[in-house]
Chain A
Amino acid sequence: MKLYEYKAKEILKKYGIPVPDGFVVSSPDRIKTIPGPVMVKAQVLIGGRGKAGGIKPANTVDEAKKVASAILGMDIRGYKTQDVLIERRLDIAKEMYLGITVDRSNRSLLLMASPSGGVDIESVPEDKILMAPVDPLIGYQPYLGRRVASFMGLQKEQASQVVSICHRLYQLVMSEDAELAEINPLVVTKDGKVVAGDAKITIDSDALFRHNEYERLHEDLTPLEEKAKRLDIAFVQLDGNIGVIANGAGLTMATLDSLNMYGGEAGVFLDLGGTDDPEKVKSAMLLMVEAKPKVILLNIFGGITKCDTVAKGVLEAIGARRIGIPIVARIKGVNEDLASTMLKDAGMIPAHGLSEAAELAARESQKVG
């Protein structure tokens, strides 16, 4: 779960990492005083805000109000700006990069640092980036911070501030279950202070059970996506006209690929997860109907549940409402023949294998155009 910049900075502050003075507002009228010259920053969960005009300076309260009202409501690459962060402008002497992320290959956390900050870290040449895996059995130790400070080319006072920030950022990641914590830029001000200029924090959504404080912060989801999330269903809207329901991420993707082979295009990716639970199949079917595809392709590889039970779930979801669109159904597992007959009797198009199902669905979608 990505956090807004203002929220990320509140957390940095909580862990003792310096951030500029500031406050967040959703209406220009709420700006009463400002802490000197400020930056007004759109709070959206996407990069490239500056280029899109979502970050502007202001020197007086009136100016801040004016700038804020221009930015509030602004559409930034598909995200609507609902809040702005009003923050003291920093006198920048140097911009650096500091981040902690998950390192898949090393199965550890990875401390990343660069003397070049304020730009997308992907665009920084590799020899300018320090990547230091944190051995999980050793944990963070001050020597890692000293490596970072030295790599950044810092000395004395600034070096010791960075060593302390590294330690605090690691504590933040461990205690808050962050899968990404990034300070970019990490600023050295003209008066020698090291301050977080911008911050990105992503909390591991699998760890939310031990972080009740984050429950309320939800990403901007469409109503259907919101519903899917509550049902623990992976739901992605795509450009085609075929709604695909399958169980398991790999199988759902493979179903999309197979459709494509036969000239069909998926409009919805719906992964039930590693389940063939009839109740979940039923709610997924209902959700899919709401997404209004032209054809539905159901591909369930039954591990443990009986196919006829799954078929029953499908029929319960569809039965009452005549949805009037072709449904190609492939259910594999115990009692598959019985399930096939049940679905056929209900007017669905039964398929025996993945290829056959994909071919049939693609053909149906071409018929309806």
Chain B
Amino acid sequence: MAVIVDEKTKVLIQGITGYQGTYHASAMREFGTKVVAGTSPGKGGSKVKDVPVFDTAMEAVGKTGANASCVFVPAPYCKDAALEAIDAGIETVVIITEHLPVLDAIHLIAVARSKGVTVIGPNCPGIASPGKAKVGILPNMIFKKGTVGVVSKSGTLTYEIVNAMTERKVGQSTCVGIGGDRVSGTYFIDVLKKFEADKQTKQIVLVGEIGGTAEEEAAEYIKKHVSKPVVAYIAGRTAPPGKRMGHAGAIIARGRGTAESKIKALESAGVKVAKIPTDVPDLLQ
């Protein structure tokens, strides 16, 4: 078992004819993902590396039975694309696109939740279950099948940590990059809940960063509901207050959202917190 995506997931690539869409459609296939369709308005009827391209998500879902979508559509058109997928009956929408206006994110996520659709992202690297499937842009080479569930706000930092785990022969059940925007479709708690229920997952790695209170909320949840061992890393221990560190949400504002407060909350929930990312594998059992 794995969470959210597995070998049965049939993936639609929205924006398949762009550079990123085309490249990652192949990379996902190499990972073992069933990439069944792509969309690109006006290019219906063509193919991208054997993947049939449709004008609309409705048609793609109808003809191929796609149940997950990976969105590469540029920010100005991204909300429309995600809503189109939801309206077409897609169950999981992974939004890679960055710089999505926050009001667009709020609206599309509210619609998704009202219909029971899972949104991951925006501005996220996606999700990978080694040996089963990947929906997103995480590099294939870093993964190894195993029993550790990874959930992270960051992209490349996740790669760094997963890579360090794999080098030490510690494999992963599923790795979920939830994205670092202020409003995201999936938060830590949503994934922790799934890892706790997943039989394959024996331990959990949580990668957070300064800003907001998601890590503190996750700590509270872990204390009450998670029985599996959790190891965490929080980026930004040395970041100065008031400076936005790359991600829209990564800012220590008015003394809130500091790494200290997050580390303290996690430690009090029994989580082992690594000082630097490459220490994570050492803390796993």
Contacts and interface: CB of A to CB of B under 8 A. Distances in A.
Contact of B106 (A108, A209, A250, A252): A108
Nearest to A300: B156
A354 B246 contact: no
Contacts of A334: 141
Residue among B23, B114, B159 facing the most chain A CB atoms (10 A cut-off): B159
Residue among A173, A210, A258, A269 facing the most chain B CB atoms (10 A cut-off): A258
B163 A332 contact: yes
A250 B101 contact: no
Interface residues of A, number: 54
A70 interface: no
A169 to B, nearest CB: 14
B139 interface: yes
Contact of A206 (B75, B109, B154): B75
B254 interface: yes
Residue among A206, A247, A334 facing the most chain B CB atoms (10 A cut-off): A206
A353 B153 CA distance: 21
A248 B157 contact: yes
Contacts of B7: none
A301 B277 contact: no
Contacts, number: 179
B154 A250 contact: yes
Given A250-B180, A257-B237, A354 B277 contact: yes
B197 interface: no
B102 A254 contact: no
B238 interface: yes
Interface in B197-217: 207, 209-210, 212-214, 217
Nearest to A250: B154
Interface in A242-290: 246-254, 256-261, 266, 269, 271, 273-274
Given A104-B214, A234-B244, A253-B235, A261 B275 contact: yes
Interface residues of B, number: 68
Could you tell me the dominant secondary structure of chain A's interface residues? Answer: mixed
Contacts of A301: 156, 159-160, 163
B145 interface: no
Contacts of B214: 104
B117 to A, nearest CB: 14
A303 B106 contact: no
Contacts of B248: 206
A323 interface: no
Nearest to B246: A249
A251 B247 CA distance: 11
Contacts of A174: 103
B250 interface: yes
18 contacts: A105-B217, A109-B106, A206-B100, A206-B101, A206-B248, A207-B101, A209-B76, A248-B154, A249-B247, A250-B207, A253-B239, A253-B246, A257-B236, A258-B277, A266-B238, A269-B243, A269-B246, A301-B160
Interface of B: 23-24, 27, 75-76, 98-107, 109-111, 113-114, 123, 125, 137-139, 141, 152-160, 163-164, 180, 182-184, 207, 209-210, 212-214, 217, 233, 235-240, 243-250, 254, 275-278
